[in-house]
Structure 1
Amino acid sequence: MKENSNTELIKSNALKQKKLKEGYMLDLYLEMFLAEIMLKAEREKLLNKIDLAIDQRNRKNFMELSDQYKELTKRFGT
């Protein structure tokens, strides 16, 4: 009987470990997904501001925004 309880305990622990790993992977995918959404939103916002600076012929603003865009692409490797 002790063998059965040990076997069941081992199976139970293995199942718990599997669930923990699956949960970790889901959290990791979710974090990556959210980071991608935030990056795209920030990128789109910057591009719109850059377009506006071009339309207004505001060189100073354009240069500052362009530098921000370059930094964004460096941080995220895009």
Structure 2
Amino acid sequence: MKEKSYTELTKLNAMKRKKAKTYVMDLYIDMLLSEIHLKIEKDNLMTLIDKAIDERNREKFNQLSIEFNQLCKRFGS
């Protein structure tokens, strides 16, 4: 079995670190997008809930409140 030179080992190590950084960056971007999506969904539901309250529409309020609670449970917030 041929042993790898110092240069080859250094290059391999650098490539591994680059892949790890890319993975972490992708993970961070995914988390950020999920957080943005959650915030938008919550804001939209809260707007609809406020509108239902203003219209005194109890049925719509109850339905939207259930959806809001399910959204919070789904994302653990």
Give the TM-score, by structure 1 length. Answer: 0.92
Structure holding more helix per residue: 1
Alignment partner of 2:5: what SS?
helix
Q: Which runs of 5+ in 2 are unaligned?
A: none
- Distance in 2, matches of 1:42 and 1:9, equals 49
Aligned to 2:14: 15
Give the TM-score, by structure 2 length. Answer: 0.93
**Number of equivalent positions:** 76
Percent sequence identity is: 41
Root-mean-square deviation (CA, aligned residues, Å) is: 1.5
Alignment partner of 2:56: what SS?
coil
Amino acid at match of 1:22: K
Moved over 2 A (4+): none
Amino acid at match of 1:31: D
